[in-house]
Chain A
Amino acid sequence: MSKSDPNAPKRLALIASKGTLDWAYPPFILASAAGAMGWEVGIFFTFYGLPLLKSDLHMQVSPLGNPAMPMKMPFGPEGFQNIVWPMPNILMANVPGFEAMATSLMKQTFKNKGVASIEELRDMCVDLDVKMIGCQMTMDVFGFKREDFIKECTVGGAAMFLEYAADADVQLFI
């Protein structure tokens, strides 16, 4: 439906360009919220955002070089949970498995706070008919195959997304 139709629903066009656990959230949260409001939603997954469309998701978060990320524990008494642990880069860079640990702590924190998992949010987006477009060029560059990705996504390029975004009321790059 184009904008010339006054009864056309609002449209949201997102670019998801980041594939870490933290940055996987904004596109799926915005898309499912917009879908719940009856908007048409399309997300173009490109570069590091493309793996968010894989059937098996393995996102991680890296606190290294990310001073804005609060380092807190998702368990123990409240006073303990509120401690922000100072983590020098030299420690984060040299301890094997530091990212895996940070990832499991973040997942636990989100779960404790009632935040849905990326898998759940993506399933909701599928339910809400969010159009998910995987970037063909990224697929070729990283050597991914179509069968690595969920069957609900389509594959396309920049022109295909831009045509969709040209008729959108809200366009965001994430």
Chain B
Amino acid sequence: MDVLKEDQVLDCSGMSCPMPVVKTSKAIKTIEVGQVLKMVATDPGAPPDMEAWSRQTGNELLRSTQEDGKFVFFIKRLK
């Protein structure tokens, strides 16, 4: 896998629905268009939720992976 470089990290470990999505929506507004947000969550509902969130908000989910029991997302702000 290519190495993705994030401009900001958001840790949502331990939080359950809908907090990862709500926190992500706030954090994405603090970076510039074209920049990348890395979000880490432990909620197993986060992967499908982040896919839906990206489609609905028009931001790009570059990568969604699972590592060491955590779900890691790279999201590029598009608008």
Contacts of B21 in A (CB 8 A): 33, 36-37
In the bound assembly, the distance between CA atoms of A42 and B15 in angstroms comes to 25
- Interface: B3 (CB within 8 A): no
- Interface: B8 (CB within 8 A): no
Please count how many residues in chain B sit with their CB below 8 Å of the partner chain's CB atoms.
Answer: 18
In the bound assembly, the distance between CA atoms of A124 and B26 in angstroms comes to 10
Given A36-B25, A114-B43, A124-B22, do A29 and B56 touch, yes or no (CB 8 Å)?
no
Which of chain B's residues 10-49 have a Cβ closer than 8 Å to chain A? 14-19, 21-22, 24-26, 42-43, 49
Please count how many residues in chain A sit with their CB below 8 Å of the partner chain's CB atoms.
Answer: 16
Residue-by-residue, is A117-136 near B (CB-CB < 8 Å gives 1, otherwise 0)? 00001001000100000000
Query: What is the minimal beta-carbon distance from B26 to any residue of chain A, in angstroms?
Result: 8
Contacts of A124 in B (CB 8 A): 22
In the bound assembly, the distance between CA atoms of A115 and B16 in angstroms comes to 5
- Interface: A72 (CB within 8 A): no
Closest to A38 in B: B57
- Interface: A113 (CB within 8 A): yes
Whether the pair A36, B53 counts as a contact (CB closer than 8 A) is: yes
In the bound assembly, the distance between CA atoms of A139 and B16 in angstroms comes to 33
Whether the pair A37, B17 counts as a contact (CB closer than 8 A) is: no
- Interface: A39 (CB within 8 A): yes
Given A10-B56, A38-B57, do A33 and B22 touch, yes or no (CB 8 Å)?
yes
Q: What 6 pairs across the A-B complex have the smallest Cβ distances?
A: A36-B25, A37-B56, A33-B18, A114-B16, A36-B22, A114-B14
With contacts A32-B18, A113-B16, A114-B42 known, what are 7 further pairs, Cβ within 8 A?
A32-B22, A36-B53, A37-B52, A39-B56, A114-B19, A115-B16, A128-B22
5 residue pairs A–B, Cβ–Cβ below 8 Å: A33-B49, A36-B24, A37-B25, A114-B15, A116-B19
Q: Which residues of A contact B (CB under 8 A)?
A: 10, 29, 32-33, 35-39, 113-116, 121, 124, 128
Q: Which residues of B contact A (CB under 8 A)?
A: 14-19, 21-22, 24-26, 42-43, 49, 52-53, 56-57
